[in-house]
Structure 1
Amino acid sequence: MLQRTASVPRTRVRPGRITLATLVLVALLAVSAVLAAAVGQYPIPAGEVVPGILRTLHLAPADPAHLLADRVLTGVRLPRVALAVLVGAALAAAGTLMQAVFANPLADPSVVGVSSGAALGASFGVVSGVATVGTWTTPALAFCTGLATTLAVYLLSRSGGRTEVVTLVLTGIAVNAFAGAGIALMTFLADQQAREQIVFWQLGSVNGALWSEVLVALPVIAIGLAGSVTLTRSLDLLALGERPARHLGVDVERLRVVAIVLVALLVGIGVAFTGIVAFVGLVVPHLMRMLIGPAHGPLLLTSTLGGGALVLVADTVARSLVPNADLPLGLLTSLVGGPFFFWLLRRTRRRSGGWA
Structure 2
Amino acid sequence: MTRNPLADPHLLGISSGAAFGAIMALIHAGMVLGTVTVPVFAFAGALAATALVLAIANLARAQSAGQLILAGVAVSFIISAAGNLLIFIGDPKAAHVAIFWMLGGLGLAQWSHLPYPLAALVLCGVWLMTQTRNLNAMTLGDESATALGIPAQRFRLKAFVACALLTGCAVAYSGVIAFVGLMIPHIVRFFVGGDYRRVLPLSALVGAIFLIAADMAARTVVPPQDMPLGIVTGLIGGIAFVILMRRRTTK
**TM bucket, shorter chain:** over 0.9
Instruction: Give the direction of change, closer, same or farther, for the CA distance of 1:343–1:182 in structure 2 (3 Å limit).
Output: farther
In structure 2, the partner of 1:91 is: none
Instruction: Give the direction of change, closer, same or farther, for the CA distance of 1:183–1:161 in structure 2 (3 Å limit).
Output: closer
User: Following the alignment from structure 1 to structure 2, what is the Cα–Cα distance between the partners of residues 120 and 107?
Assistant: 21
What is the correspondence of 1:15-34 to structure 2 with a 5 Å cutoff?
A: none
Measured after TM superposition, the shift of residue 240 of structure 1 is 2.5
Residue among 214, 218, 229 paired with 1:314 = 214
User: Following the alignment from structure 1 to structure 2, what is the Cα–Cα distance between the partners of residues 182 and 120?
Assistant: 7
- The CA deviation string for residues 171-193 of structure 1, in whole angstroms up to 9 with x for no partner, is 11111111111111111111121
- Cα root mean square deviation, aligned: 2.0
Tell whether the 8 Å contact from 1:158 to 1:164 is kept in structure 2 after alignment: no
Measured after TM superposition, the shift of residue 168 of structure 1 is 1.3
Measured after TM superposition, the shift of residue 341 of structure 1 is 4.8
Residue among 168, 176, 187 paired with 1:268 = 168
Instruction: Give the direction of change, closer, same or farther, for the CA distance of 1:147–1:245 in structure 2 (3 Å limit).
Output: same
Q: Which amino acid aligns with 2:233?
A: T
- The CA deviation string for residues 10-46 of structure 1, in whole angstroms up to 9 with x for no partner, is xxxxxxxxxxxxxxxxxxxxxxxxxxxxxxxxxxxxx
2:77 is equivalent to residue 181 of structure 1: no
2:183 is equivalent to residue 289 of structure 1: no
In structure 2, the partner of 1:133 is: 33
2:116 is equivalent to residue 216 of structure 1: yes
Tell whether the 8 Å contact from 1:153 to 1:171 is kept in structure 2 after alignment: yes
Q: Which amino acid aligns with 1:244?
A: S
Instruction: Give the direction of change, closer, same or farther, for the CA distance of 1:152–1:187 in structure 2 (3 Å limit).
Output: same
Measured after TM superposition, the shift of residue 342 of structure 1 is 5.2
Measured after TM superposition, the shift of residue 161 of structure 1 is 6.0
**Same amino acid, percent of matched pairs:** 37
In structure 2, the partner of 1:20 is: none
What is the correspondence of 1:54-65 to structure 2 with a 5 Å cutoff?
A: none
2:139 is equivalent to residue 239 of structure 1: yes
Measured after TM superposition, the shift of residue 316 of structure 1 is 1.0
- The CA deviation string for residues 152-203 of structure 1, in whole angstroms up to 9 with x for no partner, is 1122113686532121111111111111111111111111211101110101
Tell whether the 8 Å contact from 1:119 to 1:276 is kept in structure 2 after alignment: yes
Residue among 46, 67, 80 paired with 1:146 = 46
In structure 2, the partner of 1:167 is: 67
Q: Which has the larger radius of gyration?
A: 1
TM-score (norm 1): 0.66
Measured after TM superposition, the shift of residue 301 of structure 1 is 1.3
Instruction: Give the direction of change, closer, same or farther, for the CA distance of 1:113–1:345 in structure 2 (3 Å limit).
Output: farther
User: Following the alignment from structure 1 to structure 2, what is the Cα–Cα distance between the partners of residues 186 and 347?
Assistant: 43
Instruction: State the secondary structure of the residue aligned to 1:102.
Output: coil
